[in-house]
Chains A and B, each alone.
Chain A
Amino acid sequence: MITALSLFGIGAAAGILGALMGLGGGIFLVPLLTLVFDLPIRIAVGTSLVGVIATSAGVAAFAPRGRGGDVGLALRLELVTTGGAILGSLLTGMLSASLLNILFAVVVFFTAGYTLYKAGHRSDQGQPEDLFRQDYHPTHWTAGLSGAGMAGMISGLLGVGGGFIKVPIMYALMEVPLGVATATSNFMVGITAAASVFVYYGRGDIYPMVVVPTAVGVFLGAMGAVYLLPRMRAALLRNVLVGLLVLLGGYMLFKGVRG
């Protein structure tokens, strides 16, 4: 019973953070399930994929009107992301785990640094930041699509949703407001996870005892995040995102250097 409640609690925490940041939650679930519960990585990834879909569905189900993300932008980026994910999953066996970890860390540090740089640039201009500003027009499409393709490739390579790259790309590079970028990413990570979850299901990597409490927790956590998001300041949300990216990048770099 304690194990089930722990899985529920971890799921709820991942759901809140994943939905708030537009990350899906897989980036927190996979390390926690392997480290805390000593589960094999394939079961952790399979569970995480169901969790990412639960986050995406939870946000979609409870988001207030006009806060559901930019579907057109999501589909345009997802076209390249899904292609990148397919390519990444095909390349997985050709690269060493150390190289993958270092690559992961470099991308994460770059996105964190660029997000901070853009935030500083905007505050220099003295503009108050509105999370759900509607008068935006995505810019830098070539760079944005390239970044989305890279996010997809890294998703395929590392078995994560890739939201931690998609949100900074949309926010910092394409000038999409942070709240819209987060909601759009939540829609996108659901599609990316759906592309893989049936493969894991078919391979027998979905375990009900693990999946059920985790998924229920994730869904309720995502519901809570929908309530919290409009009440949060953009600066706080951005700083939490950057902090998580730095921690994650440091951990992956450590793993990569140690081999």
Chain B
Amino acid sequence: MAESSALEPVKPVEALEQQMQKVSLVLSLLGLVLMAIGLADNLVHGENYFLPGSAALTFGNLIHLRSESLGTFTISLGVIILGLIPGIRVTLALRLYLRLRDLFSICITLAVFMELLASIYLGAG
């Protein structure tokens, strides 16, 4: 008991903030570094820099590792990783509210998550 009172416990919301900070830092740096390496690789292998250039890989080609150049594959992977960050932050919030058994916040967060999925589905359709 003495130990738990001596060590200042981290408040749940602060813990969530720390987790979001770590996830955002690691994934955004990973995504951006992959994108930068991919662009450098394309330029080194003779691709000219002009706008708009060619589009990123389709989901199908990305999943099946079908790419004419490693650079384009790496850039596409970087964009996907960056795009996943907000959804992962919502998932972290959901995990916290589940731990706290905060039913109202669980419902709100789940609804936001479902809306996120629905908007992607509607847009893709």
Contact residues, B90-125 vs A (CB, 8 A): 90, 93, 105, 108-109, 111-112, 115-116, 118-120, 122-124
Contact residues, B41-93 vs A (CB, 8 A): 42, 49-56, 58-59, 72, 75-76, 79-80, 82-87, 89-90, 93
Instruction: Determine if A82 is an interface residue (Cβ-Cβ < 8 Å).
Output: yes
Q: Is the CB of A198 within 8 A of B120?
A: yes
Instruction: Determine if A53 is an interface residue (Cβ-Cβ < 8 Å).
Output: yes
Q: Is the CB of A75 within 8 A of B90?
A: yes
Selected from B13, B24, B122, the residue in CB contact (under 8 A) with A60 is B24
What's the Cα separation between A78 and B94 when bound, in Å?
Answer: 14
Query: Do A195 and B53 contact each other (CB < 8 Å), given the known contacts A60-B20, A208-B75, A211-B35?
Result: no
Q: Is the CB of A194 within 8 A of B116?
A: yes
Tell me the dominant secondary structure on chain B's binding face: helix
Q: Which residues of A contact B93 (CB under 8 A)?
A: 71, 75
CB A108 to nearest CB in B, in angstroms, measures 24
Q: Which residue of B lies closest to A190 (CB)?
A: B86
Q: Which residues of A contact B49 (CB under 8 A)?
A: 1, 3-4, 209
Q: How does the 8 Å CB contact mask read for A67-98 relative to B, with 1 for contact and 0 for none?
A: 01001100110110011011001100000000
Query: Do A65 and B17 contact each other (CB < 8 Å), given the known contacts A75-B105, A197-B83, A212-B36?
Result: yes
CB B122 to nearest CB in A, in angstroms, measures 6
CB A222 to nearest CB in B, in angstroms, measures 9
Inter-chain contact count A-B, CB under 8 Å? 178
Q: Is the CB of B55 within 8 A of A207?
A: yes
Selected from A190, A191, A208, the residue in CB contact (under 8 A) with B35 is A208
What's the Cα separation between A204 and B58 when bound, in Å?
Answer: 7
Q: Is the CB of B38 within 8 A of A212?
A: yes
What's the Cα separation between A195 and B17 when bound, in Å?
Answer: 22
Query: Do A82 and B82 contact each other (CB < 8 Å), given the known contacts A202-B124, A204-B55?
Result: no
Instruction: Determine if A187 is an interface residue (Cβ-Cβ < 8 Å).
Output: yes
CB A55 to nearest CB in B, in angstroms, measures 10
Q: Is the CB of B24 within 8 A of A57?
A: yes
Q: Is the CB of B52 within 8 A of A209?
A: yes
Contact residues, A165-218 vs B (CB, 8 A): 187, 190-191, 193-199, 201-202, 204-213, 215-216
Given contacts A79-B112, A194-B83, 5 further A-B contacts (CB under 8 A): A60-B21, A75-B108, A194-B84, A202-B123, A208-B38
A-B contact pairs, 14 of them (CB 8 A): A68-B21, A71-B17, A75-B109, A79-B112, A191-B87, A194-B85, A202-B59, A204-B58, A206-B55, A206-B56, A207-B54, A208-B76, A209-B53, A210-B53
